[in-house]
């Protein structure tokens, strides 16, 4: 494997401790379309995927007869308040970002979420300054699991994909990273996902973001 020169982070479930909030966001979103009492039962079908793909799943599964673009806009509006006001980072995130920058690594954020959510979140948690490049879901034609977003992130930090480490919590994101030609590390959140399902889906697997520093040291 090539030496790592850049780390490309997913946001939700890696930087942002947001998955519990997404259960609430999607419950409110689906209630708007007459779906009662959603509790995140179908999180595995939407986690890590673009708003268009997630919206398409919900529309088809619950037989919601409205344009997909309308559903994406409505879901974004519900989520915006959570990202601007309440969603925290995981413990240790800032320390990891600082340490990686001090080691001379380029850092990018590559998220399926849209900029209207992510930029307020980064600013409120005072971590925007650590990323050399940010690419959000609406900036690429094909969302995760397609490789577009990680190819754009690698180009954005001026690094070949093979010299990038993608950090993901979702199978769709890992597929995107591997398809882009990046090295990948999985951090599945055992509260929502079965870590056993990630075996063989990434080059590396760790339990929390603080373990990333030791891994990066081995890869440089």
Q: What average pLDDT does the segment 116-120 reach?
A: 94
Most confident of 18-22, 41-45, 109-113, 193-197: 109-113
Whole-angstrom CA distances from 35 to 62, 72, 78 are: 7, 16, 15
Region(s) of the chain under CATH 3.40.50.1000: 6-18+88-219
Predicted local confidence at residue 43, as pLDDT: 86
Q: Could you tell me which CATH number the domain at 19-85 has?
A: 1.10.150
Residue with token string 């793909």: 53
Region(s) of the chain under CATH 1.10.150: 19-85
For strands 106-111 and 6-9, give the pairing: parallel
Q: What average pLDDT does the segment 148-153 reach?
A: 98
Instruction: Name the pTM for this structure.
Output: 0.88
Determine the distance from the C-alpha atom of residue 36 to the mean position of all C-alpha atoms in its chain, rounded to a whole number.
27
Question: Does CATH number 3.10.520.10 belong to domain 6-18+88-219?
Answer: no
The model's pLDDT over 182-196, given as tens digits with 9 standing for 90+, comes to 999 999 988 878 888
Predicted local confidence at residue 139, as pLDDT: 94
Q: What percent of the chain has pLDDT over 90?
A: 81
């Amino acid at each position: 494997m090539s030496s790592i020169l850049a780390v490309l982070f997913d946001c939700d479930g890696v930087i942002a401790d947001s998955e519990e909030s997404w259960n609430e966001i999607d419950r409110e979103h689906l209630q708007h379309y007459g779906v009662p009492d959603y509790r995140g039962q179908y999180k595995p079908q939407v986690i890590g995927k673009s708003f268009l793909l997630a919206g398409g799943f919900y529309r088809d599964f619950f037989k919601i007869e409205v344009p997909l673009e309308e559903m994406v806009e409505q879901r974004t509006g519900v989520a915006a308040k959570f990202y601007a006001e309440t969603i925290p980072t995981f413990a240790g995130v800032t320390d990891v970002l600082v340490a990686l920058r001090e080691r001379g690594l380029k850092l990018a954020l590559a998220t399926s979420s849209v900029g209207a959510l992510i930029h307020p979140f980064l600013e409120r948690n005072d971590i925007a300054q650590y990323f050399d490049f940010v690419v959000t879901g609406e900036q690429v034609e094909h969302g995760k699991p397609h490789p577009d977003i990680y190819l754009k992130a690698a180009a954005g930090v001026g690094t070949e994909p093979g010299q990038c480490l993608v950090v993901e919590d979702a199978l769709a994101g890992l597929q995107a990273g591997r398809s882009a030609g990046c090295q990948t590390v999985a951090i599945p959140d055992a509260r929502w996902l079965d870590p056993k399902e990630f075996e063989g889906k990434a080059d590396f697997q760790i339990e929390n973001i603080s373990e990333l520093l030791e891994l990066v040291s081995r890869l440089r």
